[in-house]
Structure 1
Amino acid sequence: MRKRTRAGLGVLATGITSVLLAGVAGAAPSPGASGVGDPYYPNAGNGGTDVRHYDIRLTYQPATDLLSGTTTLQLTATQDLSRFDLDFGLKASSVLVNNRPAKFTNSTGDGELVITPATPLAKGQTATVVVAYADTPSQVKIDGVAGWKKTPDGALGVDEPQSAAWWFPSNDHPTDRATFDVSVEVPDDVAALSNGTLVSKTKKRAGWTRWNWRSTQPQATYLTSLEVGRFEVTQSTTPDGKPFITAYGADLGPSLDAAKASVERTPEVNEFLASKFGPYPFEAQGGVVTSGISFSLENQTRPVYGARNFAAGANTSLIAHENAHQWFGDNVTLGRWSDIWLNEGFATYAQYLWSEHTGEGTADELAQYTYDSHPADDKLWKLLPADPGAANQFDGAVYDRGALAVHALRKTVGDESFFKILQTWQKEKAGKSARITEFIALAEKISGKPLYDLFQTWLYTSGKPAVGPNGATPKAFAASAATVKQAPKSYAQIQATHELLHAEHAH
């Protein structure tokens, strides 16, 4: 190696510094990407920005489906930005960035609002973005999909994997979570429901009431909901002092009492789930039941339930499923939409746990019956829970085979390690997004067991897993298959629940 003098090194260092500074000075701001790179939904989310807070202030007229107002976003640039996108399908009338008018193009068909600020944003710079708009959401389709659900007395901004773009501009991907203030003015004879706590109801003009909601914990955009209609709204507190708000559509008819007998037990269900998963993660609890949808969705703090789910009577299994998502899906969100098993596998397994808790069939019995009920050539064994494809995210196989994978993990590592894994996952990943591979790594770390083959078999490999001993394979689910001659009491309800859960909201 040739020796260099100190002076020579100084000259070299100065030269390098000059080149680097010249490179920085010459770097021009560039556009943010139109999506975050999720293979299932290439345009979902946006590159170059991180939204910290949404303030949504709207007026909605059910008679005409006119939605108007503003959304104010507090965001941070994650790169030097010449322009950036927001996911939005309605017609914007103006955009301000840091109080200055910004140029924008509003291509409603693909759901991209492209904003060019008067002055580029530097990496790390915070910005206040105000989007004003007025439109009829029920007439809007994004990539051929209608996400807004007009009802006879109002409307529903509820769907998965996307619903936000039909009522507020956002960075619409689970990896960018934010806090929310949602304020919606509606006619006096209807309610406007959303997430979190009801901060206030105010009147500023005759015939109209403004409902003001606040979510203080990080929340994914698809979990942010709006339900407008004639609802019976009740407010109370949970045993541990959290606001508990429920709402029941005026048209539930004979299903009303069954809906109440289910949803009003939410604090009881959550207390049980907390004993398995760790403390309930949010500031409020509740539920909304509507005839406007057939499926149900785990909107943060306040799941929304399709009234059809209560047509046959009370359905606390569904309450367990959607509220398990408050942990698996809401507290810890998806890193990519292909990671849907982290949501649905564990929420379905929560139904097994609730069944066992209520004496309607043990988790072993339910798992064994599910396994035995599907022959080797069934679609259940062909679909891969770890990557089902966008068209099959809400297929029953994701729920049922997904739950079997969770039970196989439990039987392999034992109850002590199993529940420690679940609680540690919730604690370490709280308020964050995560991937399946991260869960596998944590499970191996806590259990001290190699689990690659287990997860490869249950999540990543087509085909019905072979029978074998020790819980990693199905015959250990119950004492023996012969002991399970008919479905446990809750199995039919779980199956019916799954059919409605994924019936309509797959885009």
Structure 2
Amino acid sequence: MRKFLLLYLLIFSSLAEAQQQAECQKETENISVMEQKGFQRRLEATGAHARTSASQNFDVIYYRCEWEVDPAVRYIKGNVTTHFVMTDAGNSITLDLANEHTISAVTRNNVPLSFTHSNGAVTISFASPIISGSKDSVSITYGGIPTTTFGPFATATHGPDMVPAMWTLSEPFGAKDWWPCKNGLDDKADSIDVYLKHPSIYKAASNGLLKSETPVSGSKMVTHWRHRYPIASYLVCFAVSNYNVLNNSVDIGGTAIPVQTYCYPENEATFAAGAQNAMNAMVQFSDLLGDYPFKKEKYGHVQFAFGGGMEHQTCSFMVNMGENLIAHELAHQWFGDKITCGNWEDIWLNEGFATHMANIYIENKFPANATVYRNAQINAITADPGGSVKVDDVSSPNRIFSQRLSYFKGSHLLFMLRWILSDAVFFAAVKNYLQDPALAYGFATTDNLKSHLEAVSGKDLTYFFDQWFTGQGYPSYQIQWFPDNNNVQIKISQMTSHPSVGFFQLPLPLLFQNTTTGQQKLVVLNNTTSGQTFFENLGFEPNMVTFDPEKWLVTKNNVITKSSDPLPVTFESAKIQCLGEQPQLVWITSQEVSADVFEIQKSSDAINWSAIGSVAAVGNSIDLKHYTYTDNISNVKGAYYRIAEKDLDGKVQYSRILRNTCATLQKSDLVVSPNPVHDVLHFETADKQQGVGKVAIFNADGHLIQTEQVSESSPNSINVAGLQRGTYILQLEDADQKLVKAVRFVKD
């Protein structure tokens, strides 16, 4: 009976874990969907471009918010005092506030000020100009009914008794719908105080620490919350209902941090259990990222009836206590609250990081299913061939809160950075990013994160962000492998799903196994070009290969083929160097397992080829081999060359096509300036370009990089600002694309 019970418990535990894992995956999908729909409704109500009209001549220091509300009545009134410092001298400032509210007074030190209120903007005029650097304050007394039902200001009921509830949710542009503030992603108040007057039968939650709950006349109560950290306007919040309050604490870095949960009475059990999961995640995240950012105050959850969650600073609003939702909103306290994306193009700094940290939490709790979980998100990312992590349309809510791009692909961009840099380097850089005095408790862009990753790793990651943040799509790999006793040859070719990226540069993990002996070895190949080959000593002969077994990389449609014959030779490089006016071909090969001879071929049009010589292959060598061949017959018109490698079994493969410019460069009277050049290259010939129809630029290896037709508007210049640093060849061609002149130049 005990054995049967043990077996039953093991099966039940496994099924329960699988079910919980599936629920976590569903939660991740629901988070972005619910936030996207919520954002859509808020924009439909407020207008797609209703962001901020606030003037830029002042910085907010502090808000004192005094509101009176009743969750049974859809209405808010109160007084908001804004303390600020002038950044530019002026006799007015402008704040944001929706037109639905009536302003009864605007004062400065209790002295009335003149103002206008239209198009969601409150412009306040001063009797005399305020000089730059001066600190001042204004108070706005107002009241009104925010128009949208499930927008930035919401009311509903809950439970069998239909108890009223009220809450706010302002992301991204909705704060001005219910209070006067500076509504953009460019200014954080250093601190706030929130005073909520409400019926005493309810509890009120907000940012920061609860300072007092003071009864006042008429069965009312004033609840005072104080927050002493910088805060963006969209993260200011409150909620009022018949909450049960659950108090816990968690030790973070030697500090006991209060964890407060405000939940509806009918959901106390699930919210109490969820609070424990949140505290576990707080310890885990603090170890990885540095201490919880608001440890001098609290972290908490506030139940509301809106789908999903919202990472209000120090108190996440939660529809339920699903583990993924808990981890996602908690992670936002670091990514989104402590450091807020400086523009909506970079929303992945909020949502990609929050999704990634939730992945880390779930993978730690359910390690057996980590690859299944990652693979499900990769499948979602690659469901369409295009799409960048960078938001290319900030007016579209579907685009900003794209589950596929901002959440999943943003998260997997971080998976790939961890894979490339190592966890130690990645998290050291992320800690530095979070602790950077110029960014902490402020705003950041993707470039800020990139700089910290580069500083710690010592690597230039421009290529990575060009490919994975700005670029679209993903790679598909065709992998050929050939076992040779304890060694293996590997050839990797790549296709991309979108033309914005011609090649994705990644270190590729391949797991080689012998399923009979149980031997295995993970090989990491630094794939820098398509068609690249590798030779690895495994110490055993494999019979199976798995690509990216832990699912670090965003790829799709990969094909792995075992070859029955040795793989063909690889041209590691091929170029032309000049010996006076004579071109010398120089090439390097690897993996010459069955190579026989290299045939040198020449052409005047790169279409019709003839053999002009040959060089014997070393053969049966896995090392790099260097070869040269000099053409003793120079060609001033720029002949083409290629190298045909012929195997012992008759197979042939070709190098890339090379173009000769040696003789022309020696005799050229083409002059370019400046040289080195930064932006625009000017050129001039002795014959004043007679017959010139096109300008072409080749790199040092002979690849065509850029062409332009010679025009009357700019006959003597070409813009080279887009070129990378290096040496190039400028070539002038006539209308028949025949070489006229050529000269080298350097791009700085």
Query: Following superposition of structure 1 onto structure 2, how do residues 304-319 of structure 1 map, counting pairs within 5 Å?
Result: 304-307=317-320, 310=321, 315-319=322-326
Instruction: Determine helix, strand or coil for the equivalent of 1:217.
Output: coil
Pick aligned residue for 1:163 from 162, 165, 174: 174
SS of 1:351's equivalent in the other structure is: helix
Within 2, Cα distance between the matches of 1:211 and 1:472? 56
Alpha-carbon distance in structure 2 between the residues aligned to 1:362 and 1:105: 59
Deviations 1:30-62 (A, max 9, x none): xxxxxxxxx976536531110111110111123
Q: Which residue of 1 aligns with 2:193?
A: 181
The one of 151, 156, 175 aligned to 1:151: 156
- Shifted more, 360-369 versus 77-86: the winner is 360-369
CA distance in 2 between counterparts of 1:268 and 1:212 reads: 29
Q: Matched residues in 2 for 1:186 and 1:49: separation?
A: 33
**Which position in structure 1 is the counterpart of 2:112?**
101
Q: CA deviation at 1:168?
A: 2.1
- Pair 1:146–1:349, CA change in 2 (3 A): closer
* Aligned position for 1:242: 257
Instruction: State the one-letter code of the partner of 2:471.
Output: T
Is it true that 1:463 corresponds to 2:470 in the alignment? no
- Larger Cα-atom Rg: 2
Q: Which runs of 5+ in 2 are unaligned?
A: 1-47, 158-163, 478-491, 495-503, 512-521, 523-545, 552-748
Shift in alpha-carbon separation, 1:432–1:135, aligned structure 2, 3 A = same
Task: Assess, with a 3 A threshold, how the Cα gap between structure 1 residues 79 and 207 changes in structure 2: closer, same or farther.
Answer: same
Q: For the structure 1 residues 407 and 272, does the alpha-carbon distance in structure 2 shift closer, same or farther, using more than 3 Å as the test?
A: same
Q: Deviations over 1:202-239 (max 9, x none)?
A: 01214111110011111111111111112112234333
Equivalent in the alignment of 2:144: 135
Q: Once the two structures are superposed, what CA deviation does each residue of 1:102-157 show, in whole Å capped at 9, x if it has no partner?
A: 111222xx3211211222221111111111112122x369xxx9421122313211
Between the aligned partners of 2:237 and 2:302, the Cα distance in structure 1 is 13
What SS does the aligned partner of 2:228 have? strand
Q: Which residue of 1 aligns with 2:284?
A: 272
Q: Distance in 2 between matches of 1:131 and 1:456?
A: 46
> Which amino acid counterpart does residue 350 of structure 2 have in structure 1?
N
SS at match of 2:127: coil
Q: What is the identity, as a one-letter code, of the residue corresponding to 2:204?
A: A
Q: Give, in angstroms, the shift of residue 399 of structure 1.
A: 0.1
Say whether residues 1:72 and 2:58 are aligned partners.
no
Q: Distance in 1 between matches of 2:425 and 2:172?
A: 32
Query: Which secondary structure does the structure 2 equivalent of 1:247 belong to?
Result: strand
Matched with 1:31 is none
**1:505 maps to which residue?**
none
Structure 1 residue 220 and structure 2 residue 232: aligned? yes
What CA distance in whole angstroms lies between the structure 2 residues aligned with 1:146 and 1:52? 27
With normalisation by structure 1, the TM-score equals 0.78
RCO comparison, higher one (Cα < 8 Å, 6+): 1
CA distance in 2, matches of 1:174, 1:361: 40
Question: 195-204 or 262-271: which moved more?
Answer: 262-271
Contact 2:510-2:549 at 8 Å conserved across structures: no
Cα–Cα, structure 1 residues 364 and 424, in superposed 2: closer, same or farther, change >3 Å?
Answer: farther
Aligned to 1:295: 308
Q: Residues 472 and 290 of structure 1: is their aligned pair in 2 closer, same or farther, counting only changes over 3 Å?
A: farther
- State which of 419, 438, 461 in structure 2 corresponds to 1:451: 461
Q: Partner of 2:350 in structure 1? A: 343
**Aligned pair in 2 of structure 1 residues 340, 41: CA closer, same or farther (>3 Å)?**
farther
3-state SS of the aligned residue for 2:431? helix
Which residue of 1 is the match for residue 359 of structure 2?
352
Q: Could you tell me how far apart the structure 1 residues matched to 2:339 and 2:469 are?
A: 19
CA offsets 1:346-402 (integer angstroms, 9 cap, x no match): 111101211222134576654344224544535xx4243354533111110210000
CA distance change for structure 1 residues 140 and 98 in 2, over 3 Å: closer, same or farther? farther
What is the aligned counterpart of 2:65 among 52, 56, 60? 56
Q: Partner residue of 1:405?
A: 413
CA distance in 2: counterparts of 1:104 and 1:436, whole angstroms: 39
Pick the aligned partner of 2:390 from 361, 374, 385. 385
* C-alpha deviation, 1:446, in angstroms: 1.2
8 A Cα contact 1:40 1:337, kept in partner:
no
* CA-CA distance at 1:250 after TM superposition: 4.0
Q: Give the aligned residue type for 2:389.
A: L
Match of 2:401 in 1: 394
* Larger CA deviation: 75-84 vs 110-119: 110-119
CA shift in 2, pair 1:449/1:466, >3 Å: farther
Would the aligned equivalents of 2:72 and 2:155 in 1 still touch at CA under 8 Å?
A: no
Provide the C-alpha distance between the structure 2 equivalents of 1:357 and 1:383, rounded to a whole number of angstroms: 29
1:417/1:447 contact within 8 Å kept: yes
Identity over aligned residues, as a percent? 27
Question: Does the 8 Å contact 1:385/1:401 carry over to 2?
Answer: no
The normalised TM-score by structure 2 is: 0.54
Do 2:65 and 2:80's aligned partners in 1 also have CA atoms closer than 8 Å? yes
Equivalent AA in structure 1 for residue 209 of structure 2:
T
SS in 1 for 2:84: strand
| In 2, Cα distance between equivalents of 1:45 and 1:267 | 39
Q: Which has the higher strand share?
A: 2
Q: Tell me the residue number matched to 1:434.
A: 444
Rounded Cα–Cα distance in structure 2 between residues aligned with 1:157 and 1:477: 50
Name 2:597's counterpart in structure 1.
none
CA distance in 2, matches of 1:265, 1:323: 11
Maintained 8 Å contact 1:199/1:214: yes
- CA positional deviation for 1:482: 8.3
Q: 1:446/1:483 Cα in 2 relative to 1: closer, same or farther (>3 Å)?
A: closer
Instruction: Using the TM superposition, give the Cα deviation of residue 476 of structure 1 relative to its aligned residue in structure 2, in angstroms.
Output: 4.0
Change (3 A) 1:210 1:445: same
Q: 1-side partners of 2:240 and 2:327: how far apart? A: 25
Measured at CA, do residues 474 and 450 of structure 1 come closer, stay the same or move farther in structure 2, by a change above 3 Å?
Answer: closer
Asked if the contact 1:412/1:472 (under 8 Å) is kept, the reply is no
Output the amino acid matched with 1:117. F
Secondary structure of the residue aligned to 2:401 is coil
Offset of 1:278 from its aligned partner? 0.9
Counterpart CA distance in 1 for 2:300 and 2:124 is: 36
Aligned residues: 429
Contact 2:231–2:337 (8 Å) recurs in 1: yes
| Deviation of 1:317 (Å) | 1.8
Residue 28 (structure 1) aligns with: none
Q: Which amino acid aligns with 1:407?
A: F
Indicate if the aligned counterparts of 2:214 and 2:222 stay in contact, CA closer than 8 A.
yes
Structure 1 residue 169, shift from structure 2 partner = 1.0
The C-alpha deviation readout for 1:176-195, integer Å capped at 9, x for no partner, is: 11111001011012221101
